[in-house]
Each structure stands twice: as structure tokens, then as C-alpha cells.
Amino acid sequence: MKGTILGSGTGIPSLSRHAPGYLLEGDGTRCLIDCGSGTLLQLERLQKSFHTLDGAFITHTHPDHIGDLIPMVHAFRLPGLVRCAPFHLFGPPGFIDFFDRFVAPIATPPDSFPFHVAEISPCQSWAGMTVRAQPTIHSDRLASVAYRFEKDGKSIVFTGDCDYDPALVDFVSGADLLVIDCSTLEADKVKGHLSAEQVGLVAAQARVGRLIPTHFYPIGQPDSHRVAECRLHFAGPLDLAEDLMEFQV
């Protein structure tokens, strides 16, 4: 499995960090994890346009994670797009109602190819992968999930936005790669998000193979401070996410 960081930032506009979005590829299959503002342009920069995607997995419906969802659905209907392959759009509990109420009235789903909208199961097979989902502690108003993708004995976890939770540690346990919310430093910890120190703790407790912190709020401190906090607990391979950075397991 190969991945690309499309956006390592948040909802705060940034010229260097787009809103959250990740591309995962394997055996000819391409999917998104989240679809924040700028995701579609980042795909174009990679010459892997949205119309080559097989699906998308939404962690939750806060604006910074779905900013390009309506534009993507709308673009699937525009003249000049030739596509036959189905597209699968997954989200957390309540996602179908969200799509029907807020997306479909603005961007009618395409009818020239199969377009499926579903709420993710705790464990299911998709495109030759096992996809697992775990509720995360983030918002009191809407559901959020982390995703674990497994194929050929390898695993990648994308936490989406989350706070510390022993159940999350269990879900992440033994993952070859962990792409995880790292919003702030510990001194500025925000409810519903992990600090850099907590990120290192989760990675250490879960014994992950490699760690990629992401979802960075501007904190007025150099990136080295995030690394230092992670290193309070985690001694394994660690790379801070950067837009268009690639990774592989």
C-alpha cells in the first residue's frame, strides 16, 4: 500500500498545509481518506485526478474534512467525464442522512455510473483490503471514526480527529504505519484532539512500526517541538506530515 499526504493542516487557511486529505493506493485501487479543501487540486498536481478514484472514506463531517466533497460529487456529473467504474463513498454513523440532507440537494450524485453511499461497518472487505473502523472521541455533535486498512499482512491507520482513548490504542495496536491527529503541543491541548505528547504515547502503547503526526494547527513554535514531545514516549521511526509527502508499507 502506498499513500500520499494531500493535506496536513486544518480548517485554518495555509499556503503550506492544505486541509486534511490523504490518498491511498494499492493494486490499481485509489481511495481518499477525507476530502478537505484543496484535495482535488492536490490530486491534479499528482496527475491522479479525482475521476481515477475508486472511493473515499470520510472520518467525520466537520468542514475541514469534507470541503471538497460537494465539488467532487458535482464534478462527477460534468460534461466530458467518461467513467464506468463504480465509486464507493463511506462515512461514519449518520453519514447517509448527512449526504441526503446536505450534499445531494446541492450536488446531485452522478447517474452515468454506479455511485454508492454507505456508513462504514466495523469490519468489511473492500477492493481487496480489509477495512476496519473505530469510533473516536472528538465531537459531542457528530460521529467520527478512525480507519484501519489491512492488506497482505500490512496495516495503515488514519485516526482522523481524536482524543486519547484506550480503545483507540487497542485499535491502532501493531499497525505498520499510524497517521494521527497531532493538533497542538501539550501546553495548548484542545478537547477532542491529541497533543504531540499524547501522539507519542499512543504510538508507544500501540507499538506501531512508524509514526506520521498530521493535522497541525499553527502554534507559533518550530516543528522540532512537536517531534520532541512525541519523543517523550515514542522512539521508533517518525516523520511529521508534509503536503505531498509519500509513504509506503
Residue 98 is predicted with a pLDDT of 98
The predicted model scores a pTM of 0.97
2-248 belongs to CATH 3.20.20.80:
no
The pLDDT of residue 80: 86
Residue 177: the pLDDT is 98
pLDDT recorded at residue 43:
98
Residue 165: what pLDDT?
97
Sheet holding 115-119, edge to edge: 115-119, 87-91, 55-57, 29-35, 21-26, 2-7, 246-248
Q: Give percent of the chain with pLDDT exceeding 70.
A: 100
Residues in the chain: 249
Report the C-alpha gap between 175 and 171 in whole angstroms.
9
Residue 178 phi/psi, 5-degree rounding, is -120, 115
E strands in 54-105: 55-57, 87-91
Model confidence pLDDT, tens digit, residues 28-87: 999 999 999 999 999 999 999 999 999 999 999 999 999 999 999 999 999 988 899 999
- Which residues of the chain are under the pLDDT cut of 50? none
Three-state DSSP state, 43: helix
d(CA 103, CA 97): 10
Asked if residues 29 and 47 have their Cβ atoms less than 8 Å apart, the reply is no
